Homo-oligomer: A and B are copies of this chain.
Amino acid sequence: MLKVNFENSTINEEERRVFAEQLKSAHEQLHNGTGEGADFLGWLNLRIQDDELNQIKVAANKIKEISDVLIVIGIGGSYLGARAVIDALSKNFGDKKVLFAGNNLSADYLNDLIDYIDDKRVCLNVISKSGTTIEPAISFKILREYMEKKYGEDEAKERIFVTTDKERGVLKEIANQKGYETFVVPDDIGGRYSVFTAVGLLPIAAAGIDIDKLLAGVYAAEERFASLENNPCYEYAVVRNALYKQGKKIELLVNYEPRLHYISEWWKQLYGESEGKDLKGIFPASVDYTTDLHSMGQYVQDGERHLFETVLDVQAPNRDIVLEADENAIDKLGYLNGKTMNEANHSAMQGTVIAHMNGNVPNLLLQIDKLDEENIGELLYFFEKACGISGYILGVNPFNQPGVEAYKKEMFRLLGK
């Protein structure tokens, strides 16, 4: 179960109380659907129906059976959630069951991917609400042609799964015409909040992760973080707004487990798109420690004081390593004798919190006991809800992303669309 510790946030009870009215209002806007963007609150009290869940599981089992590799074609919220959950719950090394495409416009990336899958059995899952987003549209076109050439049109049809609008759009039309199995991107859930819908669940299940347990974590979190009072999720939203008000313009999401890297990428989209508008918003950045203590660590310790850290602490690894001193101790690691690697990792973490606090970097701590489905489900829901609340406190619509259209408009003009 997620625990929060904001003792080192530098924000005291009184500074939090300043936000009491705004918090209450944000809570009501979210729960009564009276705030801006209220058409996109489907994630708040999500329940995946049994028939949909079953369809996802059947498709995932089929994918596992008939393929070595599932290529997920999608960008932004259409891939980040799945990637974050799969990475967090998979081994650090080894062949990956799920690969990602359609999230860039690099010809080399797509060509290299096609080389790589040449001797492998392949399935595709293309994910796009409209089907017109250029990155997945191009990659799907090329990979669809590849599949039809490799397997013939009939077998390709069995290997292509489409997640899109329930009735409209280019991708839905293609699926209808070709006879692909389809899954629904709900109308009332935006991309960055879609990880626990078919958008995320199909690839996650195909990667061998237990989506029942994942959803159990989400549903428990909905209960746990429902009320206005004593809500750790709301505390996080308030504390970060208080820090922003004090000039802390950058939030660094910190982890000490490499597998959490994409949780941070997912979190950056969630907070960046939700709050980065109307010329305001905390700039969301991330570091992987202790790796980046030997990179960004110098800046965090001694650079410009416009940042704070939110640390994800996983208390136990899946398998620890006990360190035993050499007989002749040539490596001078005797001080670690009998300690575990996880103890060293946590000493680094605790030492870093102390050092950065001494350097005037406020530290927020989020703890989970281990990386499993329930904890990841809870953690992601915690961030989702805190983000909605935080955006309302900030005074923005946390559920739109008008700025994302600006580059598309210019790009389509240049491409003569």
Interface contact A347-B414, CB-CB below 8 Å: yes
Nearest-CB residue, chain B, relative to A257: B106
A277 at the interface (CB under 8 A from B): yes
Interface membership of chain A positions 315-340, coded 1 if the CB is closer than 8 angstroms to chain B and 0 otherwise: 00111110100100011110110011
Interface residues of A in 13-35 (CB under 8 A from B): none
Tell me if A288 is interfacial: C-beta within 8 Å of chain B.
yes
Bound Cα distance from A275 to B303, whole angstroms: 8
Contact present for A293 and B359 (CB under 8 Å): no
Could you say which of A80, A347, A417 has the most chain B C-beta atoms within 10 Å of its C-beta?
Answer: A347
Q: A304-B280, A415-B339 are in contact. Are A94 and B112 (CB under 8 A)?
A: yes
Contact B75 A355 (CB under 8 A): no
Report if A77 contacts B (CB, 8 A): yes
Stretch with Cβ within 8 A of B (4 or more), from A157-165, A213-221, A400-408: A400-408
The answer to whether A283 and B407 have CB atoms under 8 Å apart is: no
- The docked-state distance in angstroms from the alpha carbon of A113 to that of B344 is 19
A412 CB contacts on chain B under 8 angstroms: 335, 351
- Residue among A94, A302, A319, A333 with the most chain B CB within 10 A? A302
Contact B269 A283 (CB under 8 A): no
Q: How far is the CA of A332 from the CA of B288 in the complex (A)?
A: 41
Residue A273 lies at the interface, judged by CB distance under 8 Å to chain B:
yes
Task: Name the interface residues of A342-359: CB closer than 8 Å to any CB of B.
Answer: 342-345, 347-348, 350-352, 354-356, 358-359
Docked CA distance A302–B138 (Å): 27
Q: Binding site of A, secondary structure by majority: helix, strand, loop or mixed?
A: helix
In the complex, which residues of chain B have a beta carbon less than 8 angstroms from the beta carbon of A106? 92, 256-259, 317, 341, 345
Asked if A51 CB lies within 8 Å of chain B CBs, one says: no
Q: How many angstroms from the CA of A377 to the CA of B80 in the assembled complex?
A: 33
**Closest chain B residue, CB of each to CB of A271:** B299
> Copies of this chain, how many?
2
Against B, the Cβ 8 Å flags (1 = close, 0 = not) of A261-284 are: 000010011001101111111011
Task: Provide the residues of chain B in CB contact with A355, threshold 8 Å.
Answer: 406-407, 409-410
Asked whether A330 and B138 contact (CB < 8 A) given A295-B268, A298-B404, the answer is no
Q: Mark A74-109, 1 if CB is under 8 A from B, else 0.
A: 011100100000000001111000010001111111
Residues of chain A touching chain B, judged by Cβ–Cβ distance below 8 Å, are 75-77, 80, 91-94, 99, 103-113, 115-116, 131-132, 134-135, 137-138, 140-142, 170, 173-174, 177, 191, 249-250, 256-259, 265, 268-269, 272-273, 275-281, 283-285, 288-307, 317-321, 323, 326, 330-333, 335-336, 339-345, 347-348, 350-352, 354-356, 358-359, 401-404, 406-417
Contacts A250-B250, A301-B404 aside, 9 further interface pairs with beta carbons under 8 A come to A76-B295, A106-B341, A108-B257, A111-B318, A273-B297, A279-B304, A283-B285, A344-B415, A351-B408
